[in-house]
Amino acid sequence: MTDYRISATPSPTTIARALRGLSYPVDRDAMLQHVTDAYAGELILSALNGMPDRIFNDLDDLLHAYRFERDRPEDLGTPAAAP
């Protein structure tokens, strides 16, 4: 059976569109301000709010970090004890 759920996380392509016109290198706060000023929407702003607080050298660098944060498990947990 095919899973047709809609992802609540924007795709990297959607993020790239929201970041059009952004000058690099850019820090997290300036990137968030750009998205806010561009009225990119709450879903995109929320997704980018979880980005690490660092300098992004270019769009590829930023999207790489976005994919890492998006795909990272929320809780890696602890290994199960051996029986």
pTM over 0.85: no
pLDDT category, 71, cuts 50, 70, 90? confident
Own/partner long-range contacts of 62-70 (Cβ < 8 Å, ≥24 apart): 62/15, 62/19, 62/24, 62/26, 62/31, 63/12, 63/15, 63/16, 66/12, 66/15, 67/12, 70/9
Q: How far apart are CA 27 and CA 43, in angstroms?
A: 20
What is the reported pLDDT for 40?
Answer: 87
* Peptide bond before residue 25 is cis, with ω within 30 degrees of 0: yes
Range with the poorest average pLDDT among 25-29, 65-69, 71-75, 77-81:
77-81
Q: Where are the domains of the chain?
A: 12-71
pLDDT tens per residue across span 20-69? 999 999 999 999 999 999 998 999 999 999 899 999 999 999 999 999 98
